[in-house]
A = this chain, B = another copy of it.
């Protein structure tokens, strides 16, 4: 049994958790999973066709209130593939892409003042992310796992804000026109007060 692609598991999982139409999956992808696993419509719809052709899922056309849509369910094969993935001991993909950290990495020659401006931008970004996730909270409804992953996002950004706060507090005590690299070296030389 060859392994399925990541978007394939997303689709299977969505069906198993009650998001049974392409549109419902698209919704959930944008609202509930985007902050840790982005999936676009351009992946979802072709994937539905593919998994249907290969016998992992079955679609049924349904017209509720005049509106037409296709509602999918898992076949035995699909359920098996999903369960195998959900319980797999194989190491999972993990990737972070943070342009803010990338700038920090190259900040050696900036002034402390300029570095602190960037830190402020990162802090703001995390604050906005928290606000955004809080707005989504009601949408999770009674899905306990959706609440859990949402909480992870909230806690993660709270951690980041805290981390930036500490860093900024230390930089605040250095001359603001000092070279950032030098200031950081000086801070590290005198570890945590």
User: Which A residues contact B (CB, under 8 angstroms)?
Assistant: 6, 9-10, 13-14, 16-17, 32-33, 35-38, 82, 85-87, 89, 91-110, 114, 117-118, 121-122, 125, 129, 142-149, 152, 155-156, 159, 163, 167, 180-185, 188
Structural contact, A105 and B35, CB atoms closer than 8 A: no
Copies of this chain, count:
2
Given contacts A32-B105, A108-B143, contact A148 B98 (CB under 8 A): no
Structural contact, B163 and A102, CB atoms closer than 8 A: no
Contacts of A122 in B (CB 8 A): 92
Give the contacting residue for A156; candidates B37, B152, B159; CB below 8 A: B159
Contacts of A143 in B (CB 8 A): 108, 181
Structural contact, A125 and B91, CB atoms closer than 8 A: yes
Report how far A147 CA is from B159 CA in the complex, Å. Answer: 19
Give the contacting residue for A142; candidates B33, B37, B185; CB below 8 A: B185
- Complex: chain B residue closest to A94, CB-CB: B98
Given contacts A86-B110, A95-B97, A97-B94, contact A102 B145 (CB under 8 A): no
Instruction: Please indicate which of the listed interface residues A33, A104, A118, A152 has the most CB atoms of chain B within 10 Å of its own CB.
Output: A152
Report how far A110 CA is from B85 CA in the complex, Å. Answer: 12
Contacts of A36 in B (CB 8 A): 96-98, 101-102, 105
Given contacts A97-B38, A152-B101, contact A125 B181 (CB under 8 A): no
Q: Can you identify 25 A-B contacts, CB atoms within 8 angstroms?
A: A17-B106, A17-B108, A17-B109, A33-B105, A36-B98, A37-B97, A37-B102, A86-B114, A87-B114, A89-B117, A89-B121, A92-B99, A92-B103, A95-B97, A95-B98, A96-B96, A96-B156, A104-B145, A105-B148, A105-B149, A142-B185, A143-B181, A144-B185, A147-B188, A159-B159
